[in-house]
Homo-oligomer: A and B are copies of this chain.
Amino acid sequence: MKLNSIFRLLVITAVLASPYFASGQPPRGPYVISPKVNADKTVTFSYLAPNATIVLLGGGQFGAVDVPMTKNADGVWSVTFGPIKPDIYPYSFKVDGVTVNDPANVYLFPNERFKGSLVEIPSDVPAIYALKNVPHGTLSYELYPSVEGSTGTIVVYTPPGYTKEKSKKYPVYYLISGTTDTEETFWKVGKVNLMLDNMIAEGKAKPMIVVMPYGNPMAKIAEQTGKDKPADVTSRDGEDALKRMKLFETDLITNIIPYVEKNYRVITNRDNRAIGGFSRGGGQTLRAAFNNVDKFAYVCSYASYISPAEMDKSFTNITANPAKTNKDFKLLWSGIGTEDFLYKGTTEWEAYLKDKKINVKTYAIPGGHTWMNVKQYLNETLPVLFK
């Protein structure tokens, strides 16, 4: 006990005396590098926990389900996993049953709930979302006056050259992230900025502005007023869910679009406005587009749908006159993974639209409800917007 106390004192003293002890972090042991992506596309994950009994790697999206790690003499647990198919994946560690992200990795998945770390396995031919030596756009965080007196945040991608140009105006893609994701997820995980940088450099996509709102204004209201945050896990068609949808739509139409059109050089007609989203953001996309046909000519649903029952109840304006709808929407696009838990609902909705003679461009690929798939949906849709 006594020796142990002296040892602890020495450790504490050493840490406090270290001129590189920055703000607030716990004492650090051996310097851990994690993740380390190896040339053969295996990845070595490491985690410092001298006193843990069992440490597991969790990265279900690349097949790592509770993979045991082993401890070295310094108390660092590690495992080399793979080779892993090149992509960007979330992962975490389970330390004696407790899920933690990787303290050695600066890249986190922005999310209200899940706090996983991100690892990118580069491919031999640089991926569509790779950081390449091309002109880069800018991502701007803007505070804007949002619903119920709250202040919202949007992230705005402006294409390369936006600053240099003095009068050129651009079309705008409003891109809504899913449940529990934030206004940062579409770029920090979805890499929409790098994808557009690459596509614009190759002449594959039109230079455009992308506006990424935070799809859950209720959370900001709660935060800024001290109200309780409403639960995000409610039934899909429940009152809370529909209220959130409506609140977001109000925010988009009455606050976000006017803010963007006032502060950015954008073309302000429906032919130069697109809307898209993933998961709940896809549901918000479809409702906002169907309720505001005068606003959006391009509509992209990434792994989401509206049930035929809700379509029949709320969106006969879309189905009553297919010729008009098919003229209104220059693109109505629906993408889904065949292993996505929303696959059945999505394909039913697609069939419903086709049965009603509504042109919907459908796209199905392997994969689940993941951001790996979202990047593929972006890759299909970004090049066809505003053309």
Contact = CB atoms under 8 A, between A and B. Distances in A.
Nearest to A49: B98
Nearest to A177: B22
A115 B103 contact: yes
Q: How many copies does the complex hold?
A: 2
A113 B28 contact: yes
Contacts of A141: 138-141
Contacts of A61: 24
Contacts of A37: 226
Contacts of A104: 112-113
B131 A22 contact: no
Contact of A96 (B16, B33, B98): B98
Contacts of A101: 101, 115
B151 A142 contact: no
A138 B144 CA distance: 10
Interface string A62-104: 0000000000000000000000000000100001111111011
A20 B236 contact: yes
A92 to B, nearest CB: 8
Interface stretch (A179-187, A350-358, A378-386): A179-187
A203 to B, nearest CB: 20
A44 to B, nearest CB: 11
A108 interface: yes
Contact of A109 (B24, B100, B241): B24
Interface in A131-153: 131, 136, 138-143, 151
Given A49-B98, A106-B112, A23 B370 contact: yes
A114 B25 CA distance: 5
Contacts of A229: 33
A46 B111 CA distance: 17
Contacts of A109: 24
A22 B369 contact: yes
A142 B138 contact: yes
Interface in A42-62: 49, 51-52, 58, 60-61
A86 to B, nearest CB: 13
A7 interface: no
A204 B359 CA distance: 58
A232 B98 contact: no
Nearest to A187: B141
A159 interface: no
Given A163-B264, A166-B166, 8 more contacts: A18-B233, A21-B369, A22-B178, A23-B114, A24-B116, A100-B100, A103-B114, A138-B141
